[in-house]
Structure 1
């Protein structure tokens, strides 16, 4: 466990080290899930000589904090920066990369606006970015059900595994949703601050994050070194789509290697 950016709340953090590493990569997971769902991806990076740093976002998985809750828009990027610093302190001579999916994708985009230059490159897959649905009414402390499984993946086996995972949240607070909406508004105004090399990956048939949002983000980012890959027929969890995930892993690996030497 490591201390989060909020005193008294600790985060579950897991480090996997490999032989003869040439880079570090920090992984930020999405809303209602946890870092353990990225085991296959982590093992792929390890096999290709990258150290992997994963953590459970506050209120998620094995981390502390009120379940499924956020109280302000700085918590996600500030927590992530702590894990980045751990990787860079342990291996100061290696390039460090940041990968985030969905809400984790939002996290890494916020890191890019708040802490430019703290990593050597950013990968965001199907990121929650500049739009976040309609405002949800109710007490900030009250909970709404997690219906994200409906748009997760084209493979029903992946969806079933998601639904049955005891570490995945079944609900989250109205305050979390409103905080993410506020954070999306901030990001929309701060996209012009993103100058780090960035790779955006998006499923064209994503049932949770519209592909149009990611394409709009790509157009507004001023970074000279930026790429956008949109995959036909893929839904939200492109890193778990059986038909394409290994190809997508290889694309990420190629991009990281290109920015490591």
Structure 2
């Protein structure tokens, strides 16, 4: 049975809130990076599948997200968010010495994970990018507008399962307001940093994406993934799936694919 423990940690702009899921005797650590406007609590079922496969899973609410401190969904510099994630990584390694660490990032968390892997890839065993915000992203066009549109993220773009959208709308820890200009500016800078940074070389990389993703379209992400991919690369594209593939109608298939990739990467 998966047990979750909540904790806090000092981040670059205040206290960070996170949680760790454990089961029996883990063989590896999985570090999770969530997406824009959401929080770690939306990954309970993901963590359960990973724990069942031998992981201890740890995740943090990024600055301004979920239960962490900071202005809501305001990220001034993603390099500092990578620093925060590194502190979480170091904490997990101290608690589970000697275990290999796998990094999974979804959406904006995929951008964070990609940059993390460029900076700290030598310490990782594998990386999984789910609907990652890398490469070319049309959302940066919002910066050309005089004001950010006063509209929240469209929850119908998350999954073909309507219950996912309903739960998202009802979640008080999810941000239901408009995009924040400083965050969009920081995303634009981070996208350029990733493109200017190195490939992941020998670090195993899995790219998983919904073919019907309207929030982070697959074609835009591909250019970023092609830049990152190295010697050991797995690609999984799910026909018809929307943005949150871990919450899609075929979520069991997606999670099984991720577990299989991690298992193979750890055998190397």
- TM-score normalised by structure 1 residue count: 0.92
Shift of the 84–144 alpha-carbon distance from structure 1 to 2, 3 Å rule, reads farther
| Counterpart for residue 160 of structure 2 | 154
Q: CA deviation at 1:122?
A: 0.5
Distance 1:193 1:215 in 2: 14
Runs of at least 5 residues in structure 2 that lack an aligned partner in the other structure: 1-7
Matched, 1:59 2:64: yes
Shift of the 234–77 alpha-carbon distance from structure 1 to 2, 3 Å rule, reads same
| Counterpart for residue 180 of structure 1 | 187
Q: CA deviation at 1:116?
A: 2.3
| Counterpart for residue 5 of structure 2 | none
Shift of the 9–237 alpha-carbon distance from structure 1 to 2, 3 Å rule, reads same
| Counterpart for residue 222 of structure 2 | 215
Match of 2:44 among 30, 36, 39: 39
Match of 1:165 among 165, 171, 175: 171
Runs of at least 5 residues in structure 1 that lack an aligned partner in the other structure: none
Cα RMSD of the aligned pairs, angstroms, is 1.7
Q: CA deviation at 1:222?
A: 4.7
- Structure 1 residues 182-237: Cα deviation after superposition (integer angstroms, max 9, x where no partner): 111221222x3322211110000001111112322332235101111111110001
Distance 1:249 1:25 in 2: 13
| Counterpart for residue 238 of structure 1 | 245
- Structure 1 residues 152-209: Cα deviation after superposition (integer angstroms, max 9, x where no partner): 111211111111111100124211111111111221222x332221111000000111
Match of 1:72 among 65, 70, 77: 77
Match of 1:258 among 258, 261, 264: 264
- TM-score normalised by structure 2 residue count: 0.90
Q: CA deviation at 1:135?
A: 3.8
- Structure 1 residues 68-125: Cα deviation after superposition (integer angstroms, max 9, x where no partner): 1011231221111111111112112111101111001111001011222121111010
Distance 1:127 1:39 in 2: 20
Question: Tell me, what secondary structure is at the counterpart of 2:187?
Answer: helix
Distance 1:154 1:120 in 2: 32
| Counterpart for residue 89 of structure 1 | 94
Q: Is the 8 A contact 1:200 1:214 kept in 2?
A: no
Q: Is the 8 A contact 1:31 1:104 kept in 2?
A: yes
Matched, 1:123 2:128: yes
